[in-house]
Amino acid sequence: MKREEELFIFGLGYSAGHYAASRAGDWRAISASVRSRAKRDALRAQGLRAFALEDEADAQPLLDALARCAAVLVSAPPGEAGDPILARFRDALLQSPALTRIVYLSTIGVYGDHDGAWIDESATPRPSNARSRWRLAAEAEWLALAETRGARAHVLRLAGIYGPGQNALANLKAGTAKRIVKPGQVFNRIHVEDIARAIDAAFVYEGASAAWNVSDDEPAAPQDVVAFAADLLGVAPPPDIDFATADLSPMARSFYSECKRVSNRALKERLGVRLAFPTYREALRALLAQGEGR
């Protein structure tokens, strides 16, 4: 159903970009901020109302668009100095005549390591790296801004994101897929379309502001996902690589320092999200049908 409201998106990366493209007809209008003029121009060529944060000429038109929007989706990441969107637009958001709802895209990384145990939103966040600490601080700031503004805010803590062009099938085709084996290690995942469904549900949810885990039904070992994708393609999977001796970047290695199984029960039962892809198996079969990995 088309909303007679406008949406503003801060940061148009993979997840927010999918949302803007797939839900373009669901809003009266969608506007978005991006960092560079080049990306702005490319998005405008696709018909999206985009503004470049680095272009002073876009500053007032951006503020005008923001003032018309009832809903804001925040996908821009924070840094060591804090949340760059709040640093620049806090006053505009607080003074907006239209704003009623905010959705902030965060990460399950804020929970830190739980030794493979199942956790839900009641788990106390204990981020183990700087990026996740910045995220947790930004969550609190956005929730506080919404409370001050009298708006609703929902934090979506996303699991590992995949979808078209960013999946095990594409990695196998590119020759970059690896089967890193660390006994007991599992990762949580979520397809980009199910992120879009969670965003939709958060915007219409009438309950109090909250944080929600956005993950599929089955945390799984990363090597199992690659093996399943290889089987779908009818190719031999890459050989096992022992995590202890694997050639990984510091960031990639840091992902393996945390292990948890994230429950999505609240997402489905309270927020009302029906997952398009409950596990990686349904998702990879659908991606294969769309030509991924060919």
**Interval 159-210: pLDDT, tens:** 999 999 999 999 999 999 999 999 999 999 999 999 999 999 999 999 999 9
Amino acid identity at 265: R
At residue 1, the pLDDT reads 57
Residue 37 lies in a domain: yes
Q: Each residue of 37-91: pLDDT tens digit?
A: 999 999 999 889 999 999 999 999 999 999 999 999 999 999 999 999 999 999 9
- CATH number for the domain including 85? 3.40.50.720
Q: Which residues contact 38 (CB under 8 A, 6 or more apart)?
A: none
Q: Each residue of 256-294: pLDDT tens digit?
A: 999 999 999 999 999 999 999 999 999 999 999 999 999
Residue 267 lies in a domain: yes
Residue 249 lies in a domain: no
Buried b (16+ CB within 10 A) or exposed e, 219-253: bbbbbebbbbbbebbeeebbeebebeeeeeeeeee
At residue 251, the pLDDT reads 87
Residue 119 lies in a domain: yes
Residue 92 lies in a domain: yes
Look at residue 225 and give its three-state secondary structure. Answer: helix
Residue 26 lies in a domain: yes
pTM for the full predicted model: 0.97
Residue 287 lies in a domain: no
Q: Each residue of 228-264: pLDDT tens digit?
A: 999 999 999 999 999 999 999 988 899 999 999 999 9
Q: How many domains does the chain have?
A: 1
At residue 31, the pLDDT reads 97
Residue 167 lies in a domain: no
Domain boundaries, position 53: 6-162+190-215+262-276
Q: Which residues contact 142 (CB under 8 A, 6 or more apart)?
A: 74, 83, 86, 102, 104, 153, 155
Confidence band for 227, pLDDT divided at 50, 70 and 90: very high
Question: Is the predicted pLDDT of residue 221 greater than 90, yes or no?
Answer: yes
DSSP alpha helix (H) spans, the chain: 14-22, 37-45, 59-68, 84-94, 130-149, 168-174, 192-204, 222-233, 250-255, 265-269, 280-289
Q: The tokens 């690896």 sit on which residue? A: 178
